[in-house]
């Protein structure tokens, strides 16, 4: 029975991702975010359960990536599609395909071709997850930005609009050039040859995990003071800390 526990948790991640897709398509950002957070939580605990119960399996590895593809690959692509759509139309467009007279008419009503560029994030996530399954070296560290971290970065944007909104922030986030640039940057980071530390503790020693403890502490301060604006700040901190840590290790 215990060998099925991690897979059940992974399937709960799949379900959470499916629900997040629905609510992202409906522009229900708070509910979408809840299901994304739940999916990432299940993603964390399925791996933890597999290690604690010593029931890691090739099936679990493949299932985990398929779940991540939905929750952390498809959802941010939809969110970016919607944001690019809003940047072109000035609001959340809810024109359904059945209401349009033709495919081109529907695309035009959705803000043209540009919003579909957001799915570059989904394509890049799929490529990263496939590479990850074939790479046996990404155990204590990651090569490229993990898909859950990238997903949190993208879904933070509509939440910032809702809860950290200001004229300057709203103008920046809904600028199509900013969104296109972020889409490209996030797609590159997903597959960039950059070593990023993993939040996996082999023991609880502060000496062995100083970087992890400090990162968690600073992240909690960011969350308490910056609301959802803390998410991009934490992702940037994560990347910078990893790069600086790698440089220090190389010098040592």
76 in Cβ contact with 151 (< 8 Å) = yes
pLDDT at position 97 over 50: no
CATH of the domain at 140: 1.20.120
Indicate the pTM of the whole model.
0.88
Mean per-residue pLDDT of the chain: 86
* Domain count along the chain: 1
pLDDT of 148-176, one tens digit each? Answer: 999 999 999 999 999 987 888 999 999 99
Q: Which domain holds residue 41?
A: 2-251
Residue pair 85/111 in contact (Cβ under 8 Å)? The answer is: yes
Average pLDDT value for residue range 213-236: 93
Section 180-196 average pLDDT: 95
Spell out the alpha helix ranges (H) of the chain.
5-25, 29-53, 58-68, 75-89, 103-109, 120-134, 147-163, 167-173, 176-191, 210-226, 230-251
Pairing of strands 195-197, 141-143: antiparallel
Q: Among 160, 159, 124, which Cα is nearest to 145's?
A: 124
């Amino acid at each position: 029975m215990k060998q099925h526990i991690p897979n059940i948790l992974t399937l709960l991640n799949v379900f959470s991702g499916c629900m997040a897709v629905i609510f992202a398509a409906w522009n229900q950002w708070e509910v979408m975010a809840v299901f994304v957070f739940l999916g990432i939580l299940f993603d964390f605990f399925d791996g933890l359960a597999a290690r604690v119960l010593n029931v890691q399996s090739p099936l679990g590895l493949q299932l985990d990536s398929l779940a991540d593809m939905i929750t952390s690959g498809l959802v941010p692509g939809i969110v970016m599609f919607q944001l690019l759509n809003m940047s072109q139309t000035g609001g959340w467009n809810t024109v359904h395909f059945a209401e349009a007279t033709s495919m081109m008419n529907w695309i035009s009503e959705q803000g043209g071709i540009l919003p579909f560029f957001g799915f570059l994030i989904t394509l890049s996530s799929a490529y990263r997850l496939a590479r990850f399954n074939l790479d046996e070296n990404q155990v204590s560290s990651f090569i490229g930005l993990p898909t859950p971290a990238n997903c949190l970065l993208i879904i933070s944007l509509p939440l910032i609009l809702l809860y950290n909104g200001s004229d300057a922030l709203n103008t920046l986030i809904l600028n199509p050039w900013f969104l296109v640039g972020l889409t490209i940057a996030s797609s590159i980071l997903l597959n960039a040859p950059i070593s990023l530390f993993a939040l996996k503790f082999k023991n609880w020693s502060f000496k062995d995990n100083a970087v992890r403890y400090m990162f968690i502490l600073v992240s909690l301060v960011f969350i308490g003071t910056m609301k959802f604006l803390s998410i991009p700040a934490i992702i940037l901190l994560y990347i910078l800390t990893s790069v600086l840590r790698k440089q220090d290790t190389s010098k040592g």
